[in-house]
């Protein structure tokens, strides 16, 4: 691996405008500045541009999105770390979300994931904790391939329209906050007295907004970036460090119904 005397680190992504990627990028910039390095953004959706910028890089950090063989080849023998290779304890995250929803008294459960992009450990943890309580994962909803709230909205709305009211899931764990925002909006627009407890993943800045009050699993972003840069620049790895373990940020959306004595704190259909 490269040593910490490098000056220019390529930061690779196919979409720097995505909220999660933007949050990661802010932290990467902060930590690279502390280390005396600079970031050079490389849009991996444009392979020719990636090839042009590659010679300017001392090392590369892949933040998000697909990384084609051509982009990997352009980086060549220079150090490359992919953030996705840093595996969070997804099983624990899924299990704790299930335990939270079970404690609320929900009996039917769903998982909303993006097409072709699910964390199997997270789903396994969620399903295992449900099974330990003699419950099971009743529905898996598949959103479109785009990483946005609209795909979450469409998947949830389609489910609400086709499912009988008496058989609908009561709680939904979403693979990202954006999917969760879409799911919450779908419940509100659907109306008809529908309520759905929703939990997101990532704890984006918007999750805490009064529009959503979204309960979400918070990833230790700063620690993840530190670990990635240590691997990239110092050849130093902490395989089971604190960077693997997040925590639930409790708000109101996991209730799925109005909380007595707390006006407007239902996560779904009360707000419009």
Which pLDDT score is estimated for 118? 78
Cβ atoms 186, 212 nearer than 8 A = no
Q: Based on DSSP, count helices (H) and strands (E) in the chain, helices before strands.
A: 8, 10
The closest alpha carbon to 185, from 177, 251, 87, 104, belongs to 177
Which pLDDT score is estimated for 2? 45
Confidence of residue 266 (pLDDT cuts 50, 70, 90): low
Range scoring the smallest mean pLDDT among 3-12, 39-48, 100-109, 233-242: 3-12
Q: Is 56 helix (H, G, I), strand (E, B) or coil?
A: helix
Specify the DSSP class assigned to residue 256.
-
pLDDT tens sequence across 73-122: 989 899 999 998 898 999 999 999 999 999 999 999 999 999 887 789 99
Instruction: Tell me the mean pLDDT in the region 209-237.
Output: 95
Strand duo 247-249 + 215-218: pairing: antiparallel
Confidence of residue 5 (pLDDT cuts 50, 70, 90): low
Helical H segments across 18-105, by residue range: 19-34, 47-53, 69-75, 90-103
Cβ atoms 221, 231 nearer than 8 A = no
Strand duo 197-201 + 215-218: pairing: parallel
**All structural domains of the chain:** 8-85+225-241 (3.40.50.2300), 90-214 (3.40.50.2300)
Q: Could you tell me the strand order of the sheet in which 59-64 lies? A: 38-43, 8-13, 59-64, 80-82
pLDDT tens sequence across 149-199: 999 999 999 999 999 999 999 999 999 999 999 999 999 999 988 899 999
Which pLDDT score is estimated for 272? 35
Cβ atoms 204, 177 nearer than 8 A = yes
Burial (CB < 10 A; 0-12, 13-18, 19+), residue 225, is buried
pLDDT tens sequence across 22-67: 989 999 999 999 999 999 999 998 888 888 898 999 999 999 888 8
Question: Is-above-0.85 flag for pTM?
Answer: no
- Could you give the percent of the chain with pLDDT greater than 70? 92
The closest alpha carbon to 93, from 220, 206, 181, belongs to 220
Cβ atoms 37, 230 nearer than 8 A = no
CA distance 28 to 269: 37
């Amino acid at each position: 691996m490269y040593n910490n005397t490098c000056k220019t680190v390529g930061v690779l992504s196919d979409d720097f405008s995505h909220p999660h990627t933007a949050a990661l990028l802010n932290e990467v910039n902060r930590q690279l500045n502390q280390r005396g390095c600079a970031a050079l953004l490389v849009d991996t959706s444009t392979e020719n541009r990636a090839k042009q910028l590659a010679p300017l890089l001392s090392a590369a950090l892949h933040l998000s999105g697909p990384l084609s063989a051509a982009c990997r080849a352009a980086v060549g023998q220079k150090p490359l770390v992919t953030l996705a290779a840093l595996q969070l304890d997804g099983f624990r995250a899924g299990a704790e979300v299930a335990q939270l929803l079970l404690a609320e008294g929900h009996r039917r459960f769903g998982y909303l994931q993006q097409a072709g992009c699910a964390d199997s450990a997270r789903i396994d943890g969620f399903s295992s904790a449900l099974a330990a309580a003699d419950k099971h994962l009743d529905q898996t909803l598949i959103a479109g391939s785009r990483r946005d709230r609209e795909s979450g909205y469409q998947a949830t709305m389609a489910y609400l329209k086709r499912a009988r009211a008496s058989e609908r899931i009561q709680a939904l764990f979403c693979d990202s906050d954006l999917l969760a925002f879409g799911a919450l909006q779908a419940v509100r627009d659907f109306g008809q007295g529908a309520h759905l407890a929703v939990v997101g993943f990532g704890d984006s800045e918007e999750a805490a907004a009064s529009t959503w009050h979204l309960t979400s699993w918070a990833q230790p972003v700063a620690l993840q970036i530190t670990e990635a840069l240590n691997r990239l620049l110092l050849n130093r790895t902490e395989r089971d460090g604190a960077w693997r373990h997040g925590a639930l940020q409790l708000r109101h959306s996991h209730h799925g119904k109005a909380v007595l004595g707390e006006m407007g704190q239902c996560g779904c259909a009360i707000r419009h």
